[in-house]
Structure 1
Amino acid sequence: MATATKSSCCDPCRLLHHKCDGDLPQCSRCARTGRACIRGQRKTRFRQVKDSGSRIRFPRNQVWLKPPPRVDFVLESGSGDDGLVAESTDDRQLDGSLPLLEKDGSLMTNPLSPQSAPQEEYLPSRDQSEGNQSERYYPLGKRRDAHTRQRLWPLRDPEEAALLKHFVDRISSFFDCTDRQQHFAVHIPFRARYCDTLFNAIMAMSARHLSRTATFDPYISDHYYQICLETLIPALNDHGAAMNDDLLAATVILRLLEEYDVPLAGSDLRGHSFGTKAFMKAPPPSVTKTPSLRQAVYWSGLRQEIYNAMSLRQPPDIDLSSLHSLFTALGPDAVDCDWANQAIAHCADVLLFSFGACPRSVAVHADLCKRNEQWSEIRPASFDPYFVGDEVQIGATFPDIRFSSAWHAIGYQYNKLAKILLSVHDPELPTVGPLRKRVARQVDQQIRQGVWTVCGVALSNSSVPPAMVIGCMAIQICREPRSQAGCELMGVEGGDRFTDRQEQDRLIQILLRTESLHGWPTNSSARHLCETWGYALNSDGKDDPGAQLGVQG
């Protein structure tokens, strides 16, 4: 017996205003979303008014419902338009941005003025197109224009304004330390006005930094982070995303957030590290021409990869061939930031030599040492510190070496860091024989002097967060054996280069101060060093940074 193949629109599609193909026994939309395809329920019919001049009269006891402040519209094509916000007149007046007037025209006190405004309320919005049930939260009012769907600018939310200012004042220095144009402090906030993904990344990073350095709700960072991922992840599937500077900037910002989340996650998940590498595998920007946002983002990503490689004792997982022009002497037109970036590129090359799979060649090591010395000799005179304190001995106090600009301090530190690595991974170090102990003592003294100098620069320029982080990177080398090959024969264990208790205490204080000033997660590294050095640990002393690890004499 023949059966019908088409019917009228099913009830779920009619309810959601979706176009229904009417297939029986189940339409394609219901089959795809797994919902029940029901037909024939009672329909709501409206009576047409034949006379256009007639009016519908309602009884006096008619109950009227107040429309919600947010209305979601669904297109017939099935795509949800959950970004369109319709605000009632009352809501726009009560958000504190417009004055309220009494009936006589006098100014009325706004019950939701900033002085008496309660905590902002969030309403859930469900995108039900194609059966998706993803819940997103938007604050009531203040965020978006009801007609253009664009973010209101200037911002109406004091909390978002404070987070944006915190990013400019404190977070941007993590990225602009070798950028004279200060793209992350100047250009990124402007671009975030038109890119929601970038804006939410900024909000998430600022909120996380405040939760680590002050009293601030960490869940606010989680909220912005989730909203950012909702737009970033689909965008990364586009092959043209690698050319989008806004998405690239958002990725490196989220990578910094990921590094801050190490205490929460228990380890560095490095999820956004893979996104940064994907961007950096694209055609790189010209590293010696006029500075651009893409260059600033590129160098920020490279510094993040150097930190990751140092922490994991592995080579940088990026192609360094694009930096070949920076492995030779720079021309006379090079600016100071180019010299600082050359020191960074050289450090990445040294890490590739130190932890790469290829055998360490004596000739390559000698070439790297030569380039390291050349940078120190021919760099511009502007890299000279403007103040150098009295000469100190290791273990007493750290040297006071102050630089006028962040890129001067960063370039100096990366050059010293590369020199330390070259001393640690020298393939000519003897592993047996009568000279082994004497050479090992000389090399250890050079390494200790280099670490002490890098830490001194970090403390002398503590207002530059990357300088403090580089000091922590140098301390991590204390756990490195003198040579990966033959270390068992030498009887070397990590942390043996600083054996004096006073020296160890001062290095621990560098780690603790970095976390106290900038929120950088160093507690686990400090604990690891204390265990290596045989310190007794306890869990007390949360308020005092010096006693945070419970170091006992």
Structure 2
Amino acid sequence: MATNSAQKRVKTGDERRPECKRCEIAGRPCSFPRAASPDNFNEVALVENEYFDFPEDHVWVKIPSSLRFAHHVRRKSRRIRRALNKIEDDADSVLINQSDDPPSSPRPASQFSSQADPEHGFLHISLPPVSHFLCEDISDSQTTSTPIGSLAEALNSTLPIYLPQLRGPLRDPEQARLLTVYTEHLSGWLALNDPRHHFSASVPQLAMKCPMLLDAIFAFSARYLSRSDQNISPLVADEYHYSCVCRLIAALKDIACASESALALSTVILRMHEMLSDRNAEVDLQRHLRGSLSLFSYNANKFGPGSLKHTAFWTYVRQEILTALRGCSPTNIDTSDRTYYVVFDGDTDDDWANNIIWLTARVINHFFDPSVSTVTSVHQDMLVTLVDNWRERLPDTFNPLSVVMDDHPFPAITYTCIWHNVAMQFFHLCKVIFITSSQSGETNPESVDTAEAVKHTIQICGIVRGLFLYKECRYPGALVNAAEILAYCGRTLRDAKSQSYLLGLLHRIEAETTWDVTQTTEKLREAWSDTSTD
């Protein structure tokens, strides 16, 4: 670069004298002050003021005596050197940290942070990740690292919650049956939005090394079979449940184990066991769910999209929603803007489904909180807008495959995948909550006399009916998810024929899944009776 600041910068190739010879060919003096080592960028020396001229009133910023960036690499590979040289050849300045993400994918604010050091007065900036071509092949001898929160990482772990090595095939006939029932049937109850099939593929493999997770699977399967097979005693499920809880408590006391995905997976599977238990029993169905959120917020670096813990989290959120619907109470989840670990930066169908699931949790927390006025609220209007915008921008893949209208009160609606089905269940649930709350001043569906709420309830019933078009239901997990939604929204129905068909759908859900709907049907009849006498 010429010493005159007004002179245009002349490209000098790789700026390594005398290798490039561009200045010699062009008949100009070489402006590069000193030869740099081709293998170490830190050896470049700037000779006094030959390189830059600064005005006398230039403002200088204090910097520490030594600097080290988060992505600093000691030894540059040949590929990185070529990439950096190409950048300097193609542009007048190097573009640092150019994002590879598409414009429609906002990066969470937590990744771009600046913080002042109160002791030294310096400004420390946390930079976003560098471009992928600089991350690949950092060293010629570097090996590929195991993804954080993945199955491979858990299988290679030496923490005390895992066996030293994978156990051999199960020899006990009862345990073999319990594991098979989970893998082939019950895993689908948990994997409503799991395109990676973690619950059906990864979890059984991890359970062969994690006794706690295997006990959770055994407890869930035994509870299910005890409701459909008289030869299986409920005590079998209780024994595995107790064993899993003991292991879970011990693991939580070890800070090294507390962030493991196996704990979160075991907890949500135990939760399904408890939700499937007899509702007339004097048990606290929330006793494990209350403490579950800490398993996801602690050590959030294992909570990346596609990880085992990420999949378990969305199962946990759905479980919270269903429990809240049953008692018409808020969830235990903090759905405020402070919830930093929930970020929607993808555009896949499961990302869209997760978005409406999270919006449903926010809607329930607002409208089911007795301390919040539901008549007029800026926050309420914002939630309505968010849900409506979600529906308007929904990809075409969420459109129904078929909508069959016949003499049945409800249409038969089918979708491509289970996450499309479940997402639309939650969307129509939100709309019913909006309508019933805005008209009655409190969340009480049976007190509302409006055709709009009934339209959304009929859509939910049609979605459930579509699951029964085949001899065997394709997605029993979607039926389990719909049971509490039908129970809540069904109170808006006024037509006797529609009410009868809704009860029929609930009984079919129980026959297909063993999910107890006794109390649900009783509450519906009471609500309809109160409405008819008003």
TM-score with structure 1 length normalisation?
Answer: 0.59
Using the TM superposition, give the Cα deviation of residue 238 of structure 1 relative to its aligned residue in structure 2, in angstroms: 3.3
Contact 2:264–2:312 (Cα < 8 Å) also in 1: yes
Q: Corresponding residue for 2:373? A: 359
Using the TM superposition, give the Cα deviation of residue 452 of structure 1 relative to its aligned residue in structure 2, in angstroms: 1.6
Contact 2:222–2:237 (Cα < 8 Å) also in 1: yes
Q: Corresponding residue for 1:529? A: 524
Whichever residue aligns with residue 254 of structure 2, its letter is D
Secondary structure of the corresponding residue to residue 332 of structure 2: coil
Task: Work out the CA distance in 1 between the residues paired with 2:428 and 2:526.
Answer: 27
Task: Work out the CA distance in 2 between the residues paired with 1:315 and 1:223.
Answer: 32
Match of 1:350 among 363, 371, 381: 363
Secondary structure of the corresponding residue to residue 242 of structure 1: coil
Contact 1:389–1:401 (Cα < 8 Å) also in 2: yes
Instruction: Confirm or deny that 1:454 pairs with 2:466.
Output: no
Using the TM superposition, give the Cα deviation of residue 235 of structure 1 relative to its aligned residue in structure 2, in angstroms: 2.0
Using the TM superposition, give the Cα deviation of residue 286 of structure 1 relative to its aligned residue in structure 2, in angstroms: 8.3
Q: Corresponding residue for 1:273? A: 289
Q: What are structure 2's unaligned runs of at least 5 residues? A: 1-162, 468-472
Secondary structure of the corresponding residue to residue 388 of structure 1: strand
Q: Corresponding residue for 1:505? A: 500
Secondary structure of the corresponding residue to residue 358 of structure 2: helix
Instruction: Confirm or deny that 1:412 pairs with 2:424.
Output: yes
Using the TM superposition, give the Cα deviation of residue 358 of structure 1 relative to its aligned residue in structure 2, in angstroms: 3.0
Per mean C-alpha deviation after superposition, the further-off stretch among 347-356 and 312-321 is: 312-321
Count of aligned pairs: 356
Match of 2:512 among 508, 513, 517: 517
Whichever residue aligns with residue 483 of structure 2, its letter is C
Using the TM superposition, give the Cα deviation of residue 268 of structure 1 relative to its aligned residue in structure 2, in angstroms: 4.8
Using the TM superposition, give the Cα deviation of residue 233 of structure 1 relative to its aligned residue in structure 2, in angstroms: 2.1
Per mean C-alpha deviation after superposition, the further-off stretch among 258-267 and 351-360 is: 258-267
Match of 1:464 among 466, 475, 483: 475
Contact 2:224–2:514 (Cα < 8 Å) also in 1: yes
Secondary structure of the corresponding residue to residue 378 of structure 2: helix
Contact 2:189–2:480 (Cα < 8 Å) also in 1: no
Can you list the C-alpha shifts for 1:75-133, whole angstroms capped at 9, x where unaligned? xxxxxxxxxxxxxxxxxxxxxxxxxxxxxxxxxxxxxxxxxxxxxxxxxxxxxxxxxxx
Task: Work out the CA distance in 2 between the residues paired with 1:175 and 1:168.
Answer: 11
Secondary structure of the corresponding residue to residue 275 of structure 1: coil
Contact 2:487–2:521 (Cα < 8 Å) also in 1: no
Structural mapping, 1:162-241, within 5 Å: 162-217=177-232, 218-241=234-257
Contact 1:457–1:467 (Cα < 8 Å) also in 2: no
Using the TM superposition, give the Cα deviation of residue 415 of structure 1 relative to its aligned residue in structure 2, in angstroms: 1.1
Per mean C-alpha deviation after superposition, the further-off stretch among 459-468 and 512-521 is: 459-468
Secondary structure of the corresponding residue to residue 251 of structure 1: helix
Can you list the C-alpha shifts for 1:404-451, whole angstroms capped at 9, x where unaligned? 11111111111111111111112x6689xxxxxxx953xx21111211
Using the TM superposition, give the Cα deviation of residue 518 of structure 1 relative to its aligned residue in structure 2, in angstroms: 0.7
Q: Corresponding residue for 1:250? A: 266
Task: Work out the CA distance in 1 between the residues paired with 2:338 and 2:352.
Answer: 13
Contact 2:409–2:497 (Cα < 8 Å) also in 1: no
Whichever residue aligns with residue 195 of structure 2, its letter is R
Per mean C-alpha deviation after superposition, the further-off stretch among 503-512 and 243-252 is: 503-512
Contact 2:228–2:514 (Cα < 8 Å) also in 1: yes
Task: Work out the CA distance in 2 between the residues paired with 1:385 and 1:344.
Answer: 19
Using the TM superposition, give the Cα deviation of residue 516 of structure 1 relative to its aligned residue in structure 2, in angstroms: 1.1
Using the TM superposition, give the Cα deviation of residue 322 of structure 1 relative to its aligned residue in structure 2, in angstroms: 6.6
Task: Work out the CA distance in 1 between the residues paired with 2:441 and 2:226.
Answer: 49
Task: Work out the CA distance in 2 between the residues paired with 1:268 and 1:504.
Answer: 31
TM-score with structure 2 length normalisation?
Answer: 0.61
Structural mapping, 1:361-510, within 5 Å: 361-390=376-405, 396-426=408-438, 441=449, 444-461=450-467, 462-478=473-489, 495=491, 497-510=492-505
Whichever residue aligns with residue 475 of structure 1, its letter is L
CA change 1:460–1:266 in 2 (3 A) is: farther
Whichever residue aligns with residue 312 of structure 1, its letter is G
Question: Which is bigger in relative contact order (C-alpha 8 A, separation at least 6)?
Answer: 2
CA change 1:242–1:417 in 2 (3 A) is: farther
Q: Corresponding residue for 2:134? A: none
Using the TM superposition, give the Cα deviation of residue 200 of structure 1 relative to its aligned residue in structure 2, in angstroms: 0.8
Contact 1:242–1:278 (Cα < 8 Å) also in 2: no
CA change 1:283–1:220 in 2 (3 A) is: same
Task: Work out the CA distance in 2 between the residues paired with 1:242 and 1:286.
Answer: 11
Q: What are structure 1's unaligned runs of at least 5 residues? A: 1-147, 432-438, 480-494, 536-553
